[in-house]
Structure formats: C-alpha cells, structure tokens
Structure 1
Amino acid sequence: MKIRAFSAEDYPRILEIYSRSKLDELRFEKQTFQFLPLEDDEKRLSALKESTIYVFDDGEILGYGAVFESEIRALFVCPSARGQGIGKQMLEFLLSQIHGNANLFVAESNAPAKALYEAYGFKVSDQFLTEYNGQPVYANEMVRNSGAVRTTPRS
C-alpha cells in the first residue's frame, strides 16, 4: 500500500469513491439529502481541482485526500475499505504536506470524523450554515496548530 500523487486515470475511481461516501458524512443530519455527483457539483469539484490530490493505492484506489495551501479539502475512504486505518494514514500524510497550522471543514453532526480530527489536535474554531445540494447544513471549521501533538486514535 502506498499513498501517491493523483493521476488523470485515477479520476473515475475518485468519482466512484465520492459517490459511495459523500452522503455518509451527512448521515447524522435530521433531514435526508439527495446525492449530487461530484462532477455536477461545481463548487466542490472546482475546489478539488485546484488542490493537490493524493490517492491511497493498494492495487486499487481505496481512498483519496486533497490539500490546498493549509486546508485539507477532501478525505474519503471507500466504505468497503473502512476500519483498516486508511483514513488515519491519509490524514497523517495530508498533515505532513502542510507546513504550519492546518484547517478543514466537516459537517457539525459528523461526530466520528470530528473525533478522528480531534485526536490529531484539531479543535472546532467556527460553526456556520452552508448547503449541500441546495439544503442547509451546519458545518464546523476545525483548526490544528502547527505545534499540536497527535494522540494515537483508538481503533
């Protein structure tokens, strides 16, 4: 297994992982969301394309992440590959690509993701209302100071 730079031929698999994973981050919301494919989501696709993208490749791509300046813009693991530490490895790798403070955005209700980020020194710095596919959703910005010490997350 290795984390490597994204290449153009990885794009269909990125779209597939996104389609299988995106609504998971909203599963704790009270309302039901209609999935919007990444290729049809102008805002999120544009943010991804201007980022540096990495893939977790174990003979097949099982996850991907993206960084833009100090922001982690994406971290997705294929649902069938979860629980194997791929998300933790990707997060550690993405953090190694950021010099200084790091930030990311997460659905406020996504407690499992927030717990992982907190284990790596992230703290909620802001709450705001955003939208996904035209429906409102509260989100948090989380920030990690460059001097933060990672604790080993529980599996």
Structure 2
Amino acid sequence: MNIRVTAYDTALHGQLVDIWERAVRATHHFLTEEDIDFYRTVVRGEALLANVVWIAIGAEGQAVGFIGLANSHVEMLFVDPVFHGQGIGKKLIQHAIGQVGPDISVDVNEQNEPAVLFYKRLGFKQVGRSDLDGSGRPFPLLHMKMISE
C-alpha cells in the first residue's frame, strides 16, 4: 500500500479520534463502554495535542493511522482496522525511529496480545511491567524497548 507520513494537521483531528475509537473497539476487548468513553475524552482533548503526532495518509488521501511520541516514547499508535496487517504500523514506527533514533520505547496493554506480538516482531523487548495504566486504571502495561542486536 502506498502510504505517506505527514505531520499532525488540526483539520484531521476528528478523523484521528475516529481511527482511535475504531482501532480500540477492534483490539481492546477488555475495555468497557465506560472505559472507552473516558479514554476518548483524553484522546480528543489533550493526548493528540500533547504529543508529536505523525499521520499515515493512504492512496485516497485519507488518514489511515497515526503515531504520537513524547521524546522517544511511543504514547500512541493506532491504525484504522480496515487497514490492519498492511504495514502501516510498521511504517509509522520506522518513521518515528527516523525522527528520534533507535532508542525508542512503548507501553502496551498486556491484554492486547496482537499489539504485544506486533512490537516483538519489530524488535521490541519487554523491560518491565506495571499493574496499572498511565491513568491509574487496572489495565496492566508491558514496558517495551527497541533492542538493537
């Protein structure tokens, strides 16, 4: 798939929130509707604005995914479920590495096994674990770091 990565554009903010929600509903089956409402408010409000965000744009000119970084830490990576498995997440990670270097880390929900496997395939290794997520909710996180061999 022909994808280009571009900087965050406020005109696409609503599309990114929609991508986030569709991706979460497709992959985060452990979240309740109340949890999704809580996190949607965070994403719609400060999360997209508090991070350096790059957007994957598809051949039709539409946003198909995005990545948000705080320094060299991946705070969010979401791809529209219609486009899962087409290399978009990998392209976004590669773009991030090109921007900040190979010393990159991510926290991933332990219950989101496909995401854990995705990061492992890209060379991330688990370096820690937390019982609570960044909002203090009981969703364990695996702390992962890109390990160059």
Which band: TM-score by shorter chain? 0.7 to 0.9
The alignment status of 1:74 with 2:83, answered yes or no, reads: no
Query: Where in structure 2 are there 5+ consecutive unaligned residues?
Result: none
Classify the secondary structure of the residue corresponding to 2:13: helix
Aligned length: 143
- Quote how far apart the aligned CAs of 1:105 are: 0.6
Deviates more, 1:52-61 or 1:134-143: 134-143
CA 18–99 in structure 1, closer or farther in 2 if over 3 Å, else same: same
Q: Provide the rounded CA distance (Å) in 1 between the counterparts of 2:134 and 2:28.
A: 9
User: Which residue number in structure 2 is paired with residue 53 of structure 1?
Assistant: 53
Q: Deviations over 1:95-135 (max 9, x none)?
A: 22223521111011222211221122211111112258885
Contact 2:21–2:40 under 8 Å retained in 1: no
The aligned counterpart of 1:152 is: none
Aligned-partner SS, 2:138: strand
Alignment RMSD (CA, Å): 2.4
The answer on 1:90 being equivalent to 2:89 is no
Q: How does 1:116-155 map to 2 (within 5 A)?
A: 116-131=118-133, 135-145=137-147, 148-149=148-149
CA shift digits 1:54-101 (9 cap, x unpaired): 001121000011111110111100011112111111111122222352
**SS state at 1:112 partner:** helix
CA contact (8 A) 1:105 1:141 kept: yes
- Structure richer in strand, relative to its length: 1
State the percentage of identical aligned residues. 22
